[in-house]
Structure 1
Amino acid sequence: MIDAYSRRVVGWSIAEHIRTELVVDALEMARWQRRPTPGTILHADRGSQYTSWVFGHRLRDAGLLGSMGRVASSVDNALIESFWSTMQRELLGRRTWPSRVELAAAIFEWIEGWYNPRRRHSTLGYLSPHEYEALHTAAITAA
């Protein structure tokens, strides 16, 4: 899960399946990291994991509002599709992974050690997600 404001990856999970519990785990990680206020919008595609009763129930319990775009909208998930493309190009496509444990460790290191703290984004004025959030947090605090 990516914060659309800062492009920071705030929730992720890895498994050998794409069942609902995979996205619920990512949601719980995002909730733990962000502590979103009630009414925060979570946008997802129309995949069965996101339209499931369990996922919707978790959103409602957290006071979050679910959002989904139109079917077959190419811009609906542009942010996450861009992220997947970047991770494929910068990490996944560079080697093979002998085990899920090694892959999970590499993904963790790439997200938490590179993507969030150091990878620059043109949409953020060539700042990393951490730098962008720090800059704007300082400006809000000063105001």
Structure 2
Amino acid sequence: LPVAPNLLEQKFEADRPNAAWVTDITYIATDEGWLYLAGIKDLYTCEIVGYAMGPRMTQELVGEALFRAVRSKRPRPGLIHHSDRGSQYCAHGYRRLLAQFGMLASMSRKGNCYDNAPMESFWGSLKAELVYHHRYATRMEAMASVREYIEI
């Protein structure tokens, strides 16, 4: 699968909204099994601009988060879209979506979580402030809790 160059080089500043987005997937334990959460964060506003949740870590999951972000923010062509090298982000279908939206793909170096520190930091806050204080019986219960955390 194709890998993109690291355009951010750990420079996590942007001069305006929708100039650079970082994205990643995390997982949340439920009694039914894992709930996967794909999120996209704007480096300028620090807002979660798009997210999606589901029972599998798939290209479709990250695609849904991307569609939500694009529908919500309508970014201009040239936005830097930074992710890790996960197969979902390297997939041809996802890379085609980025091209269709005029986005520049950027990827972390292999095995370097610091290259995506702003997104990893958000996951840490989400888990410390919310997830670690709950035991979720169902994925739906976890989804409602996460949705409230992100949107309120």
One fold, TM greater than 0.5?
Answer: yes
* Counterpart position of 1:42: 81
Matches within 5 A, 1:1-143: 1-113=40-152
Larger relative contact order, structure 1 or 2 (CA cutoff 8 Å, min sep 6): 2
**When the two structures are superposed, what TM-score results if normalisation uses the length of structure 2?**
0.72
Q: Give 1 or 2: higher strand fraction.
A: 2
Mapped to 2, the partners of 1:25 and 1:81 lie a distance apart of 20
* Counterpart position of 1:127: none
Cα RMSD for the two superposed structures: 0.9
User: Match of 1:38, SS?
Assistant: coil
Shift of 1:105: 1.1
**When the two structures are superposed, what TM-score results if normalisation uses the length of structure 1?**
0.76
Shift of 1:93: 0.6
**Over residues 13-60 of structure 1, what are the superposed CA-to-partner deviations in whole Å (9 max), with x where a residue is unaligned?**
111110111100110111011101011111111000000011101111
Mapped to 2, the partners of 1:29 and 1:83 lie a distance apart of 18
Mapped to 2, the partners of 1:69 and 1:86 lie a distance apart of 21
User: Match of 2:70, SS?
Assistant: helix
Mapped to 2, the partners of 1:31 and 1:18 lie a distance apart of 20
Task: Pick the structure with greater CA Rg.
Answer: 1
Shift of 1:72: 2.2
Specify the code of the residue in structure 2 equivalent to 1:13. Answer: A
**Unaligned 5+ runs, structure 2:** 1-39
Specify the code of the residue in structure 2 equivalent to 1:68. Answer: M
Mapped to 2, the partners of 1:104 and 1:28 lie a distance apart of 18
Shift of 1:74: 3.6
Mapped to 2, the partners of 1:112 and 1:11 lie a distance apart of 10
